[in-house]
Amino acid sequence: MNQYVFLNERFIATENAGISFRDLAFQRGYGMFDFFRVYNGIALFLEDHLDRFYASAKNMHLPVKQSRNEMRSIIYELIQRNQINHSGIRITLTGGVSPDGYSIAEPTLVIAQQHFQPCTEEQFKKGIRLMSYEHQRQLAHVKTVDYLMAIHLQPKLKAIGADDILYYTNDLVRECPRANVFVVTKEDQIITPSQNILKGITRNKVLGLASKDFLIAEKEITINEILSSKEVFITSSTKEILPVMQIDEVVFRADNNVSQALHKQLQRLIQEYSLVTAE
């Protein structure tokens, strides 16, 4: 079965979807994207993702030809054409094919769907191990294509057996390259940073769920605070919620009750969303 992508103004077979090597994303790293899951044929939290996509595009000085309605139609036509259960859709927008290789041109738009398996119960139980690294993402509030540092650090991660990176700056916790970070304090308060980070859609959903049963705060967390907290977990569209079992040499011996409870609530929210949207 052929798979399609939407490239600029039309659907084409994936194998024919070539990008120019003069594209500003390829030559200058100038591009942005958004990514959301497709669950039971429904684009999860699509309006939140479109909000962020259009905001990122504006911030990057990249005009989007498609109206919001057109974007929704394209996304659902792509889902209809490809028929992939358990998938994700990535909308990428770049500076386009620049005549001088530097100035923003007519943006390139790629909407592509790919297979995607959510984390298993076992992966949740196992949790993840983070390596801290001092780094501040540029244009942190925009979902840019800039993962240079994260990918550059992969061999180091593997060498020490860590799963992901925890960025911090001036002793303050920021985020993982593709996820937000939460701590549960010994007083059962739930805290997540709000400055100089990308505000994830799952982060916002989890904050909403947590506020019903916990005191929540969006504020700075120091490295010392995170290392002495009761529970740490990360959130993202692909990972939902995952407990952090270790940061550098510090092992958390947490029961992860809070992340477990919130994970169940998030999964319920996802199911409800897909049912209500399908009607």
Instruction: Please say whether the beta carbons of 193 and 175 come within 8 A.
Output: yes
Alpha-carbon gap, residue 98 to 238, rounded angstroms: 33
Report how many residues bind a copy of itself under the rule CB under 8 A. Answer: 45
Closest CA to 115 of 92, 90, 85: 85
- Which CB sits closer to a copy of itself, 61 or 125? 61
Kindly write out the interface string for residues 96-115 of this chain, putting x where it contacts a copy of itself by CB under 8 A and - elsewhere. -----xxxx-----x-x-x-
Alpha-carbon gap, residue 258 to 212, rounded angstroms: 13
Alpha-carbon gap, residue 266 to 254, rounded angstroms: 20
Kindly write out the interface string for residues 23-52 of this chain, putting x where it contacts a copy of itself by CB under 8 A and - elsewhere. xxxxxxxxx-x-------------------
* Kind and range of the H or E run holding 262: helix 257-278
Kindly write out the interface string for residues 49-68 of this chain, putting x where it contacts a copy of itself by CB under 8 A and - elsewhere. -----------xx-------
Amino acid at 217: A
Closest CA to 202 of 128, 118, 146: 118
Kindly write out the interface string for residues 228-247 of this chain, putting x where it contacts a copy of itself by CB under 8 A and - elsewhere. --------------------
Alpha-carbon gap, residue 238 to 259, rounded angstroms: 16
- Which CB sits closer to a copy of itself, 55 or 217? 55
- Which CB sits closer to a copy of itself, 17 or 261? 17
| Residue 81 contacts a copy of itself per CB under 8 A | no
Q: What are phi and psi of 221, to 5 degrees?
A: -125, 125
- Which CB sits closer to a copy of itself, 80 or 154? 154
Alpha-carbon gap, residue 61 to 112, rounded angstroms: 22
- Which CB sits closer to a copy of itself, 158 or 264? 158
Which residue from 82, 92, 113, 202 is in contact with a copy of itself, where contact means CB under 8 A?
92
- Which CB sits closer to a copy of itself, 58 or 125? 58
Alpha-carbon gap, residue 69 to 46, rounded angstroms: 12
Left, alpha or beta for 189 (phi > 0: left; psi -120 to 50: alpha)? beta
Which residue from 146, 218, 220, 225 is in contact with a copy of itself, where contact means CB under 8 A?
146
| Residue 161 contacts a copy of itself per CB under 8 A | no
The nearest distance, CB 163 to a copy of itself, in angstroms, is 12
| Residue 118 contacts a copy of itself per CB under 8 A | no
Got the DSSP string for 186-221? TT-EEEE--SSS---HHHHHHHHHHHHHSEEEE---
- Which CB sits closer to a copy of itself, 197 or 258? 197
| Chain residues that interact with a copy of itself, rule: CB under 8 A | 5, 7, 17-31, 33, 60-61, 90, 92, 94-95, 101-104, 110, 112, 114, 135, 138-139, 144-152, 154-155
